[in-house]
């Protein structure tokens, strides 16, 4: 279908097709993209790829806790729900392989009136394209029975909610019965539909030690089975035979090579795109799009895991050149991303309002067009919740080739429904891949770029890089705002003469002297004529357990404790002494002693005061302090700083003796 036809169908514009896939690092999704991208070029249609990864991945017991925020990619599903998308192609069976049927149905319902074609799955009322699994899988099971004379054949498949798993199990069952072998439920293992199935396989083999062959519902399960069989030192391809399904790239690199059913995902993606464009082109405007169903054939690929014979020469011929090309592209892309890393580190406060600078940094030779769509403010997206796109989004900047342009602020606002059809997009046909921009629970938007198929493996790295760049920009922006607020505040303080209050001698929280006030008053006390020759007591005090009080009961209770400690010290010193708060939870005091008075009396008075507080306040925690005290005669040579340092040393020793933090259960707070 040419461009003219496409534009006639869509009212003078090119068709826009959305492709929602799982992780493009996985072979199936990767090949779906490859086929769809190739077909998009042939049909002259725009293709928008949404790599949404997996629903409910965090709820899976085998999920990596370090990937706690991987669910953020699911937000891309809602980006596909735009009226300027003419049809959605979605690999829902792979995106939702850990989810329930109800959850997957809810996702489908989001697209409303937008036509949807399911890939590798069928559902009443929807167009679909699926594998004809029967031919390839039937041949695999028959080969094990007829050619290899195996009768104890196990089946490793997915959960009962997985349609692919159920269909392949039914084919396995039918072939066994056709070949005169009674179906045995005990030879079926329901497991995780991925390589993370080792525990289930171990249990299955322990219950069925005489199993002669394993039919795996996909190649990923076969990879997990390989690990278990090798640990048990069972010779694959001779003692026990194994077959898979999908023919992923790694199938021929496994040791031994995996016999599998070739379900060519590239053909699936290509056919889905071609049929979608045909359906849209043939559709009459007044008529709703009628669902259609399509199939792609599968075939059994015999390799060593089932035959016991290696075909290494064929593997070398088929993949050596591909390895070389991949290695070159990998080196080129690694170099490009290293440059991106370097330039991102150069970001500074001068880049705060320069969105074009972000795209200027992302200069990857293989990518020509970038579009940076961001929300006005970050949007919180929590696990288990549905992400809802806003009415509007902001096209902060875009790049076409070497030209980077930042729109005027009045032009940046774009209706969400026009994200994929606005005047700033290129006239020529494009395949755009959506890159999610997020940090922890915060969604910032997306970057849309024409990333070629060969570089899809770098999509995740680019996601992290653009997210870091946008996050840094936000932090610099916040910093700039704080600095502006600080300058404004200082100007107001000067205008209103509040600077004097700011540097006063009083501690705002406790009401006693602050550090500056304490040293001024203490120095004055020591310098008085009446103090000469008398004994002076210096006190260094530390409120115990402040961190525990703050953490467990809140900062208001921490403030209460600080106030009471200050009051206790001030009371213990009396009107003749000076008390001050000189740090967070540190206090100091100075008292010229009377003839029969001792420094230890201060400790006793302060302890009595705090005991009274603890008895009357009804708190579940104690307000306690450690004290270091020293006495010395007042002479001309006496230095206040040295006196307090010695008291501090004694405090350090005293703090070693304090007991554990004890919380009472019978008090108010």
Evaluate whether residue 407 is within a structural domain.
yes
Kindly state the average pLDDT of the residues 202-206. Answer: 95
pLDDT of residue 389: 84
Kindly state the average pLDDT of the residues 376-397. Answer: 87
Evaluate whether residue 494 is within a structural domain.
no
C-beta separation of 38 from 270 below 8 A:
yes
* Cβ-based neighbour number of residue 308 at 10 Å: 15
Evaluate whether residue 327 is within a structural domain.
no
Q: Which of 93, 114, 86, 89 is nearest to 37 (CA)?
A: 89
**Does one domain contain both 403 and 435?**
yes
Give the model's confidence band at 342: pLDDT under 50 very low, under 70 low, under 90 confident, else very high. low
pLDDT of residue 669: 53
Is the model's pLDDT at 122 over the cut of 70?
A: yes
Kindly state the average pLDDT of the residues 91-111. Answer: 89
**Does one domain contain both 121 and 187?**
no
C-beta separation of 223 from 255 below 8 A:
no
Could you tell me the end-to-end alpha-carbon distance of the chain, in angstroms, rounded to an integer?
A: 75
**Does one domain contain both 307 and 411?**
no
**Structure tokens belonging to residue 49:** 């790829």
pLDDT of residue 493: 62
Evaluate whether residue 367 is within a structural domain.
yes
pLDDT of residue 4: 38
Give me Rg for the CA atoms of the chain.
Answer: 36
What is the residue whose two structure tokens read 């875009």? Answer: 398
**5 vs 11: CA distance, rounded Å:** 10
**570 vs 541: CA distance, rounded Å:** 12
Give the model's confidence band at 343: pLDDT under 50 very low, under 70 low, under 90 confident, else very high. low
pTM of the entire structure? 0.61
**498 vs 488: CA distance, rounded Å:** 13
Q: H/E element holding 542?
A: strand 535-543
Domains held by the chain: number:
3
Q: For residue 123, which phi and psi values (nearest 5 degrees)?
A: -160, 135
Is the model's pLDDT at 211 over the cut of 60?
A: yes
* Cβ-based neighbour number of residue 453 at 10 Å: 18
Q: What share of the chain is helix, strand, coil (3-state, %, to 5)?
A: 45, 20, 35
Evaluate whether residue 479 is within a structural domain.
no
C-beta separation of 432 from 47 below 8 A:
yes
Kindly state the average pLDDT of the residues 643-652. Answer: 91
Q: For residue 398, which phi and psi values (nearest 5 degrees)?
A: -145, 165
**Does one domain contain both 530 and 634?**
yes
C-beta separation of 33 from 21 below 8 A:
yes
C-beta separation of 389 from 78 below 8 A:
yes
pLDDT of residue 50: 95
**417 vs 412: CA distance, rounded Å:** 14
**559 vs 548: CA distance, rounded Å:** 13
**Structure tokens belonging to residue 276:** 């979608």
- Whether omega before 331 lies within 30 degrees of 0, making that bond cis, reads no
**Structure tokens belonging to residue 99:** 């989810």
Q: Which of 511, 583, 574 is nearest to 546 (CA)?
A: 583
C-beta separation of 379 from 388 below 8 A:
no
**Does one domain contain both 203 and 307?**
yes
% of the chain beyond a pLDDT of 90: 47
**Does one domain contain both 300 and 154?**
yes
Identify the domain boundary among 430, 452, 467.
467
Residues 6+ apart with CB under 8 A from 505: 513, 514, 516, 517, 520, 521
**Structure tokens belonging to residue 589:** 């005091």
C-beta separation of 358 from 330 below 8 A:
no
**601 vs 603: CA distance, rounded Å:** 5
CA dihedral for 589, 590, 594, 600, sign (positive or negative): positive
Identify the domain boundary among 435, 467, 499.
467
**Does one domain contain both 104 and 169?**
no
pLDDT of residue 322: 55
User: With left for phi above 0 and alpha for psi between -120 and 50, is residue 293 left, alpha or beta?
Assistant: beta
Kindly state the average pLDDT of the residues 6-15. Answer: 57
Is the model's pLDDT at 61 over the cut of 90?
A: no
Kindly state the average pLDDT of the residues 346-375. Answer: 71
**215 vs 243: CA distance, rounded Å:** 5
Is the model's pLDDT at 316 over the cut of 50?
A: no
Look at residue 6 and give its three-state secondary structure: helix
**339 vs 267: CA distance, rounded Å:** 36
Residues 6+ apart with CB under 8 A from 281: 1, 5, 6, 9, 15
**390 vs 375: CA distance, rounded Å:** 8
* Cβ-based neighbour number of residue 480 at 10 Å: 14
Kindly state the average pLDDT of the residues 345-370. Answer: 67
Helices 312-345 and 459-495: crossing angle in degrees, nearest 10, is: 10
Counted residue by residue, the chain has a size of 669
**Does one domain contain both 416 and 524?**
no
Is the model's pLDDT at 131 over the cut of 80?
A: yes
C-beta separation of 172 from 199 below 8 A:
no
**Does one domain contain both 520 and 645?**
yes
**Structure tokens belonging to residue 38:** 């190739």
**Structure tokens belonging to residue 311:** 């075909």
Is the model's pLDDT at 123 over the cut of 60?
A: yes
pLDDT tens per residue, range 560-580:
999 999 999 999 999 899 999
**569 vs 566: CA distance, rounded Å:** 5
Residues pairing with 153 in the sheet: 213
C-beta separation of 103 from 56 below 8 A:
yes
Residues 6+ apart with CB under 8 A from 90: 19, 20, 21, 80, 108, 116, 117, 118, 119
Evaluate whether residue 664 is within a structural domain.
no
Is the model's pLDDT at 432 over the cut of 80?
A: yes
Give the model's confidence band at 454: pLDDT under 50 very low, under 70 low, under 90 confident, else very high. confident
Is the model's pLDDT at 414 over the cut of 50?
A: yes
Q: Which of 60-74, 321-335, 429-443 has the lowest mean pLDDT?
A: 321-335
Residues 6+ apart with CB under 8 A from 191: 156, 157, 158, 197, 200, 201, 204, 221, 224
Give the model's confidence band at 352: pLDDT under 50 very low, under 70 low, under 90 confident, else very high. very low
How does strand 116-119 pair with strand 87-90?
parallel
C-beta separation of 79 from 438 below 8 A:
no
pLDDT tens per residue, range 584-604:
899 999 999 998 889 899 999
Give the model's confidence band at 332: pLDDT under 50 very low, under 70 low, under 90 confident, else very high. low
**241 vs 308: CA distance, rounded Å:** 8
C-beta separation of 462 from 456 below 8 A:
no
**Does one domain contain both 194 and 215?**
yes
Q: Which domain holds residue 420?
A: 3-127+353-467
pLDDT of residue 481: 67
Encode 99-119: b = buried (16+ Cβ within 10 Å), e = exposed: beeeebeebbeebeebbbbbb
Residues 6+ apart with CB under 8 A from 333: 364, 366, 455, 458
Q: For residue 130, with 0-12 CB atoms within 10 Å meaning exposed, 13-18 middle and 19 or more buried, which class applies?
A: buried
C-beta separation of 631 from 536 below 8 A:
yes
pLDDT of residue 10: 46
pLDDT tens per residue, range 455-480:
888 788 788 888 887 887 777 666 66
C-beta separation of 612 from 599 below 8 A:
no
% of the chain beyond a pLDDT of 70: 85
pLDDT of residue 136: 92
Is the model's pLDDT at 6 over the cut of 50?
A: no
**Does one domain contain both 256 and 310?**
yes
Evaluate whether residue 116 is within a structural domain.
yes
Q: How far is CA 376 from CA 391, 438, 444, 454, in A?
A: 11, 14, 8, 33
Q: Which of 516, 652, 651, 645 is nearest to 578 (CA)?
A: 516
Kindly state the average pLDDT of the residues 644-649. Answer: 91
Evaluate whether residue 426 is within a structural domain.
yes
Q: Which of 547, 573, 543, 583 is nearest to 561 (CA)?
A: 543
Tell me, what CATH number does 650's domain have?
A: 3.30.70.270
**Does one domain contain both 161 and 113?**
no
C-beta separation of 29 from 23 below 8 A:
yes
pLDDT of residue 666: 64
CA dihedral for 79, 83, 89, 94, sign (positive or negative): positive
Tell me, what CATH number does 204's domain have?
A: 3.40.50.2300
In the predicted model, what is the mean pLDDT of the chain? 85
pLDDT of residue 353: 54
Identify the domain boundary among 403, 432, 467.
467
pLDDT of residue 341: 56
């Amino acid at each position: 279908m040419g461009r003219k036809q496409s534009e006639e169908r869509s009212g003078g514009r090119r068709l826009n097709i959305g492709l929602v896939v799982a992780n493009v690092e996985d072979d199936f999704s990767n090949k779906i993209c490859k086929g769809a991208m190739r077909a998009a070029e042939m049909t002259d249609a725009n293709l928008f790829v949404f790599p949404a990864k997996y629903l409910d991945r965090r709820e899976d017991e085998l999920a990596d806790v370090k990937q706690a925020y991987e669910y953020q990619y699911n937000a891309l599903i809602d980006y596909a729900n735009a009226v300027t998308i003419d049809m959605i192609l979605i690999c829902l069976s792979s995106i939702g392989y850990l989810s329930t049927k109800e959850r997957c149905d809810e996702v489908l319902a989001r697209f409303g009136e937008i036509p949807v074609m399911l890939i590798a799955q069928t559902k009443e009322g929807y167009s679909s394209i699926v594998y004809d699994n029967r031919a390839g899988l039937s041949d695999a099971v028959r080969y094990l029975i007829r050619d290899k004379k195996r009768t104890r054949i196990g089946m490793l498949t997915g959960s009962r909610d997985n349609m692919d798993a159920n269909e392949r199990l039914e084919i396995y069952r039918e072939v066994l019965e056709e070949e005169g072998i009674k179906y045995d439920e005990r030879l079926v293992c329901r497991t995780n539909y991925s390589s993370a199935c080792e525990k289930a396989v171990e249990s299955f083999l322990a219950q069925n030690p005489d199993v002669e062959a394993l039919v795996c519902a996909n190649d990923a399960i076969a990879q997990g089975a390989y690990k278990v069989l090798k640990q048990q030192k069972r010779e694959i391809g001779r003692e026990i035979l194994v077959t898979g399904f999908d023919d992923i790239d790694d199938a021929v690199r496994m040791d031994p090579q995996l016999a599998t059913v070739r379900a060519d995902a590239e053909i699936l993606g290509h056919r889905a795109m071609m049929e979608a464009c045909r359906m849209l082109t043939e559709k009459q405007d007044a008529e709703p799009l009628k669902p259609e169903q399509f199939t792609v054939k599968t075939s059994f690929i015999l390799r060593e895991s089932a035959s016991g014979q290696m075909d290494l020469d064929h593997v070398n011929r088929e993949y050596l050149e591909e390895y070389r090309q991949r290695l070159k592209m990998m080196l080129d892309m690694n170099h490009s991303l290293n440059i991106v890393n370097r330039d991102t580190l150069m970001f500074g406060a001068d880049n705060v309002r320069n969105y074009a600078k972000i795209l200027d940094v992302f200069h990857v030779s293989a990518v020509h067009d970038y579009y940076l769509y961001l929300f006005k403010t970050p949007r919180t997206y929590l696990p288990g919740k549905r992400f809802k796109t806003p009415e509007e989004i902001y096209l902060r900047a875009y790049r076409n080739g070497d030209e980077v342009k930042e729109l005027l602020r009045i032009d940046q606002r774009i209706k969400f429904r026009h994200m994929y059809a606005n005047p700033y997009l290129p006239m020529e046909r494009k395949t755009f891949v959506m890159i999610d921009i997020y940090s922890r629970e915060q969604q910032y938007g997306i970057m849309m770029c024409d990333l070629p198929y060969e570089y899809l493996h770098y999509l995740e790295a680019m996601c992290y890089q653009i997210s870091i760049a946008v996050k840094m920009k936000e932090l610099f922006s916040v910093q700039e705002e704080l600095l502006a607020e600080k300058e404004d505040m200082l100007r107001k303080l000067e205008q209103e003469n509040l600077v004097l209050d700011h540097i006063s001698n009083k501690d705002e929280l406790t009401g006693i002297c602050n550090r500056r006030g304490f040293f001024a008053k203490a120095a004055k006390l020591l310098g008085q004529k009446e103090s000469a020759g008398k004994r002076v007591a210096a006190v260094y005090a530390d409120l115990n357990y402040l961190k525990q009080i703050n953490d467990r009961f809140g900062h208001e209770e921490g403030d209460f404790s600080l106030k009471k400690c200050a009051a206790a010290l001030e009371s213990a010193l009396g009107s003749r002494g000076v008390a001050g708060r000189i740090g967070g939870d540190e206090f100091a005091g100075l008292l010229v002693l009377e003839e029969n008075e001792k420094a230890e009396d201060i400790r006793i008075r302060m302890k009595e005061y705090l005991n009274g507080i603890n008895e009357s306040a009804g708190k579940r925690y104690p307000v306690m302090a450690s004290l270091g005290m020293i006495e010395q005669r007042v002479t001309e040579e006496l230095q206040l700083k040295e006196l307090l340092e010695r008291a501090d040393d004694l405090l350090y020793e005293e703090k070693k003796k304090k007991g554990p933090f004890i919380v009472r259960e019978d008090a108010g707070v």
